[in-house]
């Protein structure tokens, strides 16, 4: 898999197929990016599980924090890693101990670990790096266009404004593959080793 550019169909298939998402690094602080991403995905009907050992005993939007992936105690479809690149490998290694294995490992914007990705892919897990599922969902559903952002999707109809638990169609046609070259360049400039 080329982790520098993902086909829209690859991202669409993931966002359409996963139901439960464990967010490692979730925060109950309502000004943190992980809070916004968590809340957005809850509002789109995903079964979100906050994972952060520093917040066990608290809840995020009514969902109790767990200390680790192994503490979840039920199958999960996707592990979303909201940690810096240096903390990704231990999370992937823990995910590889789960039974059954998750279908997807997703590393948030700025998160990239090619060795961890290779290890997950060798186990049959799909991997996405340096992307945000909130942004990708909004882009592929054209919802993001409500904020004046060019979603690179073609439709004569605007996406509806979603309500709690509403999933928008991710099957709108995209132009030029929907790559995000600017974010890829920015990530490479921050991490000259890639």
Per-residue pLDDT tens digits for 45-57:
999 999 999 999 9
Report the topology of domain 8-139: Rossmann fold (3.40.50)
Q: Is 83 helix (H, G, I), strand (E, B) or coil?
A: coil
Positions of the chain with pLDDT lower than 50, given as ranges: 147-151, 175-179
Per-residue pLDDT tens digits for 100-125:
999 999 999 999 999 999 999 999 99
Domain range annotation of the chain? 8-139
Residue 13: Cβ within 10 Å count: 14
Backbone angles phi, psi at 93, to 5 degrees: -60, -40
CB contact set of 81 (below 8 Å; sequence gap of 6+): 24, 25, 87, 88, 91, 92, 105, 106, 107, 108, 111
Its pTM surpasses 0.75 = yes
Dihedral angle at the C-alpha atoms of 109, 124, 165, 6, nearest 10 degrees? 40
User: Pairing relation of β-strands 20-24 and 173-174?
Assistant: unpaired
């Amino acid at each position: 898999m080329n982790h520098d550019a993902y086909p829209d169909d690859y991202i669409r298939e993931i966002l359409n197929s996963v139901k439960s998402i464990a967010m490692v690094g979730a925060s109950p602080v309502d000004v943190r990016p992980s809070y916004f991403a968590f809340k957005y995905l809850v509002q789109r009907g995903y079964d979100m599980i906050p994972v952060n050992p520093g917040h066990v005993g608290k809840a995020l939007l009514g969902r109790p924090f767990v200390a680790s992936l192994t503490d979840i105690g039920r199958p999960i479809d996707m592990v979303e890693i909201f940690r810096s690149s240096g903390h990704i490998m231990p999370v992937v290694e823990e995910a590889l101990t789960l039974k059954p294995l998750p279908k997807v490992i997703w590393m948030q914007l700025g998160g990239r670990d090619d060795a961890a990705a290779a290890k997950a892919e060798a186990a049959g897990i799909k991997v996405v790096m340096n992307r945000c599922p909130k942004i990708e969902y909004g882009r592929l559903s054209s919802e993001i266009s409500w904020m004046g952002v060019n979603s690179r999707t073609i439709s004569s109809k605007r996406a509806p404004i979603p309500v709690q638990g509403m999933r928008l169609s991710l099957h709108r046609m995209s132009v030029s593959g929907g790559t995000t070259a600017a974010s890829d360049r920015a990530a490479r400039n921050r991490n000259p080793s890639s």
